[in-house]
């Protein structure tokens, strides 16, 4: 059955719900109803500290080219989306850091009946870790090229219960795998996989608000152990609420207990408070303020047993007229390391102006500022990135 016009628009909206992109592409629709949306992003930026170091910094101009294509199918109830993209980066002053990455992603939402729904996410990426970040943080240009890795994600969620009923229950299974493909002498100890199973019970308190209880957990396993194994088991139990109480606000907040138990008794286990929250406030049709915060334990890239990470962020998007949109965002991250004495504090400020030059061309000017302080002086740095992007569609 061919897609109706409102279904076509709905499918296209899935692809362009991002606040950054304002282009309105002329899509191609096949006889079977598949919407094809090609995009090309081309940009120039200057990074004054490409190795994220505190002294003897190196800056470089960088040209980025990122073509992508999306395939969408939406029948008004079920939808499917496939995205394929590649990105190349060319460093004019540091050709060893040139990169080519690729991503493949598929998502679908299926409703077998009014009380039975499935959501599927599949991803496969070939990516790089810039020098001075991740495993090579604080080491600058010690490695002679960026670290490269492949990762894969598979996530399936099944929800049972009518959307009009007072209660629903969802079951989730997730698998993530990451493998580095160069510098095995140091990267082999960071290849890992994580399996997660979870369940969430929703209770509808009114037409627009759900309270819920969420439990999830599973093992994290590393392919090669160092002297002390990093393998651990995670368990999180949270209670929360999600709402669209008025036309102005919507959001989700959940809080509870997280536990991380290492298989090696010499590492320090974690048991403590965890939370996650996102709130969108839209006082006017053309402006949106978003707030987000989270706290959780995560595995470190270099040293320590785990990191107790707290994040606080704010984003303001304002549409000045039908062609000009501004985005201003700030985030503060506090990383407290366990197993070693280290505390990192990172402030990030981003500003962007997007101009819809034509229906099929967007021009964006942006500035990114990062300031990282740490009790480990090797990790202290700041950097500025200034860039200009062009997004082309049909």
What does the pLDDT look like over 182-217, one tens digit per residue? 999 889 999 999 999 999 999 998 778 899 999 999
Whether 371 has a pLDDT exceeding 90, the answer reads: yes
pLDDT given for residue 22 in this prediction: 61
Range name among 8-17, 145-154, 361-370 with the lowest pLDDT average: 8-17
Give whole-number Cα distances, 86 to 20, 28, 127, 367, in Å: 19, 21, 10, 23
Distance, in Å, from the CA atom of 392 to the CA atom of 358, rounded to the nearest integer, reads: 9
Pairing of strands 287-298, 270-284: antiparallel
Residue 21: pLDDT band (50, 70, 90) is low
pLDDT given for residue 27 in this prediction: 80
What does the pLDDT look like over 134-177, one tens digit per residue? 999 988 777 899 999 999 999 999 999 988 888 999 999 999 99
5-393 classified as CATH 2.40.160: yes
pLDDT given for residue 72 in this prediction: 96
Whether 319 has a pLDDT exceeding 90, the answer reads: yes
Residue in this structure with the two tokens 């402030």, named with its chain if needed: 347
Please state the φ and ψ torsions of residue 46, each to the nearest 5 degrees. -120, 125
Strand partners, 243: 209, 251
Strand partners, 280: 250, 290
* DSSP secondary structure letter of residue 228: S
pTM of the model: 0.90
Percentage of the chain modeled with pLDDT above 90: 80
Distance, in Å, from the CA atom of 128 to the CA atom of 179, rounded to the nearest integer, reads: 11
């Amino acid at each position: 059955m061919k897609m109706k016009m409102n279904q076509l628009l709905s499918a296209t909206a899935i692809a362009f719900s991002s606040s950054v992109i304002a282009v309105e592409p002329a899509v191609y629709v096949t006889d079977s109803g598949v919407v094809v949306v090609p995009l090309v992003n081309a940009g120039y930026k200057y990074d004054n500290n490409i190795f994220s170091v505190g002294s003897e910094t190196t800056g470089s101009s960088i040209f980025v080219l990122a073509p992508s294509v999306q395939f969408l199918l939406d029948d008004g109830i079920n939808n499917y989306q496939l995205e394929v993209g590649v990105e190349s980066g060319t460093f004019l002053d540091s050709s060893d850091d040139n990169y080519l990455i690729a991503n493949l992603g598929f998502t679908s939402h299926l409703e077998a009946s009014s009380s039975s729904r499935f959501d599927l996410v599949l991803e496969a990426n070939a990516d790089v870790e810039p020098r001075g970040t991740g495993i090579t943080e604080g080491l600058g240009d010690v490695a002679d090229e960026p670290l490269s890795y492949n990762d894969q994600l598979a996530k399936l969620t099944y929800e049972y219960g009518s959307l009009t009923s007072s209660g629903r229950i969802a079951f989730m299974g997730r698998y993530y795998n990451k493998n580095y493909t160069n510098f095995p002498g140091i990267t082999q100890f960071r290849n890992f996989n994580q399996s997660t199973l979870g369940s969430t019970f929703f209770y509808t308190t009114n037409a627009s608000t759900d309270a819920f209880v969420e439990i999830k957990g599973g093992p994290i396993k590393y392919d090669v152990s160092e002297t002390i194994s990093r393998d651990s088991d995670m368990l999180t139990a949270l209670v929360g609420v999600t709402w669209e109480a008025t036309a102005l606000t919507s959001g989700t907040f959940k809080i509870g207990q997280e536990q991380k138990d290492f298989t090696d008794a010499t590492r320090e286990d974690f048991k403590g408070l965890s939370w996650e929250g996102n709130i969108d406030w839209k006082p006017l049709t053309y402006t949106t303020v978003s707030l987000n915060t989270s706290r959780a334990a995560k595995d470190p890239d270099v040293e320590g047993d785990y990191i107790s990470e707290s994040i606080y962020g704010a984003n303001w998007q304002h549409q000045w007229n039908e062609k000009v949109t501004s985005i201003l965002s700030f985030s503060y991250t506090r990383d407290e390391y366990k197993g070693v004495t280290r505390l990192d504090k990172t402030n990030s400020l981003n500003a962007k102006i997007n101009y819809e030059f034509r229906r099929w061309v967007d021009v964006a000017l942006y500035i990114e500022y990062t300031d990282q302080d740490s009790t480990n002086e090797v990790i202290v740095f700041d950097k500025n990135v200034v860039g200009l992007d062009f997004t082309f569609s049909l």
